Every structure is written in structure tokens, then in C-alpha cells.
Chain A
Amino acid sequence: GQNIDQPTEMTATEGAIVQINCTYQTSGFNGLFWYQQHAGEAPTFLSYNVLDGLEEKGRFSSFLSRSKGYSYLLLKELQMKDSASYLCAVQDSNYQLIWGAGTKLIIKP
């Protein structure tokens, strides 16, 4: 079966760095996405990785290792507005998105 695992909840301090991990087992791989979702809102796109390595975009970076079925989202200089759920999604061989359950990130002052 297809499976995406990520922690249910994480807590971090404003100004700090946090890493949210995602491991996956899917039938085929055509890229991994990270989305941010604030409560009551639709997800918004953060990053897309299809090749191994680190993609940096401002305060957010995303890493992928296809051989390990592993990705992480790194958030630097945390701000209170970063409190949200972070969703990991893998595109399988049919270009269907398989979603993780999301990681709720709580930022404390």
C-alpha cells in the first residue's frame, strides 16, 4: 500500500529553526510537495522536489532523498505566522497526489 508518515505535532520557539520530516512508500515517484495550511483555509504551495538534494526558498528549504524515501521541510527564523499545518504529498506513478496527515506546528513566543 501507499503510505506517507509525518509527525502529528511539533512545537518550536519564535526565531528558532524547526525540521519537519516526511517518509514515504508509494507506487512510483513523480515528485514530492510541501504545502502549508492554516486552520480553516485551503493549502498553499511551499515547495516541490523531484531530484535529490536541497531546494532553498527564503526561510523555507526542502530536502529529498529518493533512495531513502525521505524528505524534510526546514523552517528558519520562525515567526508566529508560521503556526500552521504542514502537509507532505507525494505524486505517484499515475501523477496522483498521496497526502500525509499533516504536521501541526505550534510556535511559542
Chain B
Amino acid sequence: GAVVSQHPSWVICKSGTSVKIECRSLDFQATTMFWYRQFPKQSLMLMATSNEGSKATYEQGVEKDKFLINHASLTLSTLTVTSAHPEDSSFYICSARDVREGFWEQYFGPGTRLTVT
């Protein structure tokens, strides 16, 4: 099956610093990647959708200048949390989809747990 990796799996950073999270599709080409955030005991919240080679589409209420998304290749997307604050502490999950396959399943990465102190 399709595999999506995320790095790092967990990170602790100080308030005011920036953190970059990588999402890679390992055995398929991801034309579309999604970034989600999940707070404890809550459902997934879609932050943005990115298509390879174009700008990400952000959901309402998500600050594009704070959450920088780059999808430079068909196998890699990055999310950078800039000037992180404790309220940004959350579980960040990426997913990837190859629409050319004609099947619309999203394959999820294992997630990155971010703690901002």
C-alpha cells in the first residue's frame, strides 16, 4: 500500500521559534497533499490543501503567513510553523492523494506532535 512519512514525529520548541515539518510520499506521486491539525479529543481539522507546483489553499481561519506550506515536488510537502506559540501545540498530520490513480483515498502520515514551551 501507499506509504506517507512525516518528520519529525515529535518536536519541542521554544516560543517564538519556527518549526518545519516534512511530509513525504514514499512509493507514489502525490499530486495533492493535505495538512491537518488535531487537538486532544477533537476531530481532524483541515488547515490547507496543496497541489504540486502551486500555492496552497488555506481553510478559513488559518493564517497563511504563520503556517507556510511548500509543495515543491510530487513527493514532498513541508509545513513551517513560524513564530510558534504555546497555543500552536497540537498533533499535525499530513495526507497525500494521487488523483491520477482515479481512487480518492487519502493516505495519512504518522503525524507530528508539536509542543511549544
Contacts and interface: CB of A to CB of B under 8 A. Distances in A.
B46 A97 contact: yes
Interface stretch (B61-69, B71-79, B80-88, B103-111): B103-111
Interface string A1-41: 00000000000000000000000000000110101000011
Interface stretch (A43-51, A54-62, A69-77): A43-51
A97 B106 contact: yes
Contact of B105 (A48, A100, A102): A48
Nearest to B41: A104
Contacts, number: 43
- Measured as residues with beta carbon below 8 angstroms from the partner, the interface class of chain A is 20 to 34
B43 A45 contact: no
Contacts of A44: 108
Contacts of A64: none
Interface of A: 30-31, 33, 35, 40-45, 48, 87, 91, 95-97, 99-102
Interface of B: 34, 42-44, 46, 49, 91, 93, 99, 103-111, 113
